[in-house]
Amino acid sequence: MDKIAPFLSKVFGLLAFILFILGNILLFSPLPSTPLSCYHAAPLLWWGVMVVTGVGWFLLAQLLLVVVLVGLGSAVVVAILAKIGIEANTSLQARSSTVSRLSPLTLAELHALQYVCYIPSTSREHFPVENLPHPAIYLDDQKNTCGICQDTFVPPQYGKEQLAQWLIELKCGHVYHAKCIDEWLIKGSATCPFCQRSVRDVVDPSSAGGSQGSTLVNERRDSAFSTW
Ligand SMILES: [Zn+2]
Ligand SMILES: [Zn+2]
């Protein structure tokens, strides 16, 4: 019985569908308004078929309604999901860009930072800035220490061997020993240790010197001073 029931259900379904089609043909072909129609031959039978076929129409209309509603509903759900998905992607991108903005600098990015030569602002006349290896930065006594190691910056030495301390000025204006800020930016995060401002948005990696940059960085780490 368990096997026969689904089979019978299908057969009756098919039969009902055929009868429904046949009923429609009998009802409307030819149209009831023409003299040779079924309606004129047997009006009661025609109305009987009409009632049964009407039930079929009702069921069909229900089916169509369900299809339309499901279609509309799923379209709305898909649209909502797409919107949520896009928003999720956007926030993900924002997050990842924040992360990449704060992640440690590469050596090439590090080399693109601004080197400066410290000149005491109180005695700038003693330090001619011509031919300095890097742009001069004038700092008073309150600002001439490295925020990382707390050591005071050393002004350029003019002698037989001309020496200038390797210093880096970040875009925020804070100055550090290159050796000190190197460690922070490469092993820590791409921010100023003092004011937390990102240094990456002011770095242009395309202007970095590639392998030459790495060499310079290594050289800088070996000595606290540069010669020129
Ligand atoms: Zn330092
Ligand atoms: Zn800063």
ipTM of the complex: 0.94
Residue 178 CA to ligand 1 center (angstroms) comes to 7
Distance from the CA of 192 to the center of ligand 2, in angstroms?
4
- Three-state SS at 76: helix
How many alpha carbons lie under 13 Å from residue 30 in its C-beta half-sphere? 7
The rounded Å distance from CA 140 to ligand 2 centre is: 17
What distance in Å separates the CA atoms of residue 133 and residue 220, rounded to the nearest whole number?
Answer: 13
Domain residue ranges in the chain? 4-102, 107-227
Phi, psi of 119 (to 5 degrees): -125, 125
What is the 53 CA–ligand 1 centroid distance (Å)? 93
Fold of 107-227: Herpes Virus-1 (3.30.40)
- With beta carbons less than 8 A apart as the criterion, state whether 134 and 141 touch: no
pLDDT, tens digit only, all 228 positions of the chain: 778 888 888 888 888 888 888 888 877 877 777 777 778 888 888 888 888 888 888 988 999 999 999 999 889 988 888 887 766 666 666 666 666 677 888 888 888 899 999 999 998 888 888 878 889 999 999 999 999 999 999 998 887 777 889 999 998 999 999 999 999 998 888 999 999 998 886 545 454 444 444 445 555 555 666 665
Ligand 2 centre distance from Cα of residue 175 (Å):
8
| H/E element, 115 | strand 114-120
Which two structure tokens, joined as six digits, stand for 72? 């509309």
CA–centroid distance, residue 137 to ligand 1 (Å): 16
